[in-house]
Amino acid sequence: MTVKNIEDQNRNIEHPWKTDNWFVSPWNYLEEVTKDFNPPTKVKIHDVTLRDGEQQAGIIFTKDDKIRIAKKLAEVGVHRIEAGMPAVSPRDEEAIRKIVKLNLGPEIFCFCRCMVNDVKLAADCGVDGIVMEIPSSKHLIEQGYKWPLEKAIDLSIKATTFAKELGLYTVFFTIDGSRADLGWLLDLVEQVATEGHMDAFTLVDTFGVLSPQAATFFTKKVRERIKKPLEIHFHSDFGLGVANTINAVMEGAEVIHSTVLGIGERAGNTPMEETVLALLTMYGIDVGLDYKKMNELSLLVQKLSGVSVPECRPFIGKGAYNIESGILTGWFKNVFETNPTTVFPVHPDFVGHENPQIVMGKKSGLDNIEVWCGKLGVELEDDEALDVLNKIKLKSHDLKRVITEEEFMEIVNEVKKES
């Protein structure tokens, strides 16, 4: 893909690396960098928060929780919602039926084992499609499931054939595909596609063990053999879910399975927020979400899941746009009003984050003092400001945290009494 192609995809922006909403490296768009990219014409988000996200140990979504999250996902504009696995419990089944009836806009899918009864239950719920799992590595089939290899194949053919008869869009999902023998995996998929049914195939890295280069290789090899739409379901056990997913997209995969916050089994799934914003700003691929509602969605899922995210988490962390350092405060003071993306590569308004906060602590400088004095209506002489700063540094160090406005005023009053 050439630079011009990427610019065209990004709404004909003259410089796609720098807009009113973001400022990333122009190197991302050099032809030398992009020449081997082969992304699809459209990328969709298949959200798995309500199913795979809930599989994170300790997370339980009630029926009402799932409905609230599904509504917010629809507002954000995800293309598909995987509403759950109806075979898990009657309440999960009830939640899926309710979400389907709400007619929210996105396609509603559910997750199934390679069992005819699971498929029938999914169809009864009224979903648009199913994601059907099957173990695909010999070691997992033999050790984890205690099945003969032929059983996995037979079950898959029967269940996918039945799904076709019921008119369900069927996404074939090969568990532990990234640790399978590639020849065995592709033979299995081709046999199911030929003797059974498959509308799309999912590249699955169940244990998050692909390197970014291997993710590209995996996608390329599957595309050579499997002439079906490709979907991506990668985990983040090594923190590579976003990079691996993007590499798969650049090799032609067109549907991204992701979760809000990146919640999921063990170290979690590929996080939606980082993935879609990286695609938009660094690759010129707009998946069509309402990015301004990103933080509304994040806060809702945090509240209903009980999961807290690090304050520095990109775009959605509470402190993602906060500044304590004196040097950065100087930058902020000088450029934020006129060129905000000079100090924040993605504008906080663009992702619905609250305004940047200048906090006060051990690493602060005189620019922090100036900002706080302006905010609190305080006047200090130059020598007083320096005394206040030195006392703040000591207090913050001893408390091992930033200081409050009340503590700041106490220090100001103390210095003024001394001067």
pLDDT tens digit sequence for 43-88: 999 999 999 999 999 999 999 999 999 999 999 999 999 999 999 8
Mean pLDDT, rounded, for 348-375: 96
Predicted pLDDT of residue 185: 87
Mean pLDDT, rounded, for 188-193: 87
- Domain 38-305 fold: TIM Barrel (3.20.20)
Burial track 86-100 (b if 16+ CB lie within 10 A, e otherwise): bbeeeebbebbbbbb
pTM over 0.85: yes
What is the distance between the alpha carbons of residues 8 and 316, in angstroms, rounded to a whole number? 29
Q: Where are the domains of the chain?
A: 38-305, 326-418
Indicate if the pLDDT at residue 146 is higher than 70: no
Predicted pLDDT of residue 7: 40
Indicate if the pLDDT at residue 120 is higher than 60: yes
Indicate the pLDDT class of residue 181, thresholds 50, 70 and 90.
confident
Predicted pLDDT of residue 135: 66
Indicate if the pLDDT at residue 3 is higher than 60: no
Over residues 373-385, the pLDDT tens digits come to: 999 999 999 999 9
Predicted pLDDT of residue 136: 63
Considering only 55-64, 177-186, 227-236, 395-404, which range has the smallest mean pLDDT?
A: 177-186
Predicted pLDDT of residue 153: 78
Predicted pLDDT of residue 399: 96
Indicate if the pLDDT at residue 142 is higher than 70: no
CA distances from 173 to 213, 222, 254, 258 (A): 21, 13, 15, 14
Predicted pLDDT of residue 218: 97
Indicate if the pLDDT at residue 194 is higher than 50: yes
Over residues 6-34, the pLDDT tens digits come to: 444 444 467 899 999 999 999 999 999 99
Predicted pLDDT of residue 140: 65
The average confidence (pLDDT) of the chain is 92
Predicted pLDDT of residue 83: 97
Over residues 285-322, the pLDDT tens digits come to: 999 999 999 999 999 999 999 999 999 999 999 999 99
Residue 399: phi and psi, rounded to 5, are -85, -15
Predicted pLDDT of residue 134: 78
Indicate the pLDDT class of residue 355, thresholds 50, 70 and 90.
very high
Predicted pLDDT of residue 10: 45
Predicted pLDDT of residue 138: 67
The residue that leads in pLDDT, 108 or 194, is 108
Indicate if the pLDDT at residue 183 is higher than 70: yes
Predicted pLDDT of residue 156: 84
Indicate if the pLDDT at residue 186 is higher than 80: yes
Considering only 169-178, 185-194, 362-371, which range has the smallest mean pLDDT?
A: 185-194
Over residues 257-289, the pLDDT tens digits come to: 999 999 999 999 999 999 999 999 999 999 999
Predicted pLDDT of residue 6: 40
